[in-house]
C-alpha cells in the first residue's frame, strides 16, 4: 500500500463549487504539505502543517484553506473554485523527529483538478 494517498485522483468541477482534496499518510510523519504544480511554474507551496495544532500559509494560500484532522490526515479545500485553480495538486509529508532529518519530503500521487 502507498504511504501517502490522495483522493480523488481526478476531479472536474465548475466555477463556484466547493471542493475538498484529501490526503492520508501511514508514514507516521508529523509534517504535511500541500503543493500545486502548473506547467512552467513548478511546484508551489500552498499550506503546511507541523502538527495537528499548527497550520501555516505557504507561498500561494489565497483561495485555499486546510484542515489537519489528525496526524495522518490533511485536507485542502477550495471554497469557491475558479478556473485558474486548475492544476495538479500534491500532498507531501516529512519527518522532523529523525536524528538526521533534513526535511526529505514524500509525495502522494497527486490530484488532477480541472475547474470549468
Partner 1 sequence: SQKIEQNSEALNIQEGKTATLTCNYTNYSPAYLQWYRQDPGRGPVFLLLIRENEKEKRKERLKVTFDTTLKQSLFHITASQPADSATYLCALPGGGADGLTFGKGTHLIIQP
Binding of partner 1 at residue 8 (CB under 8 A)? no
Binding of partner 1 at residue 11 (CB under 8 A)? no
Closer by beta carbon to partner 1, 18 or else 57 = 57
Determine the interface stretch with partner 1 among 21-29, 70-78, 79-87, 92-100 (rule: CB under 8 A): 92-100
In angstroms, the CA 63 to CA 65 distance is 7
Between 45 and 84, how does the x/- string for binding to partner 1 read (CB under 8 A)? x--x-x-----xxxx-------------------------
User: How many helices (DSSP H) and strands (DSSP E) are in the chain?
Assistant: 0, 11
Task: Give 67-70 contacts, CB < 8 A, sequence gap 24+.
Answer: 68/32
Binding of partner 1 at residue 31 (CB under 8 A)? yes
In 16-116, the DSSP E strands lie at: 19-25, 31-38, 42-51, 54-57, 65-70, 73-78, 87-94, 106-107, 111-115
Which residues of this protein are in contact with partner 1, per CB under 8 A?
4, 31, 33, 40-43, 45, 48, 50, 56-59, 88, 90, 92, 94, 96, 102-110, 112
Amino acid at each position: 500500500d502507498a504511504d501517502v494517498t490522495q483522493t480523488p485522483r481526478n476531479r472536474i468541477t465548475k466555477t463556484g463549487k466547493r471542493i475538498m482534496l484529501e490526503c492520508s499518510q501511514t508514514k507516521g510523519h508529523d509534517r504535511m504539505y500541500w503543493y500545486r504544480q502548473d506547467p512552467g511554474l513548478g511546484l508551489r507551496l500552498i499550506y503546511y502543517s507541523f502538527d495537528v495544532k499548527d497550520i501555516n500559509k505557504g507561498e500561494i494560500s489565497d483561495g485555499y484553506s486546510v484542515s489537519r484532522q489528525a496526524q495522518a490526515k490533511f485536507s485542502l479545500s477550495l471554497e469557491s473554485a475558479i478556473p485558474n485553480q486548475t492544476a495538479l495538486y500534491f500532498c507531501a509529508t516529512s519527518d522532523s523527529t529523525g536524528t538526521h532529518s533534513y526535511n526529505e519530503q514524500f509525495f502522494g500521487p497527486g490530484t488532477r483538478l480541472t475547474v470549468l
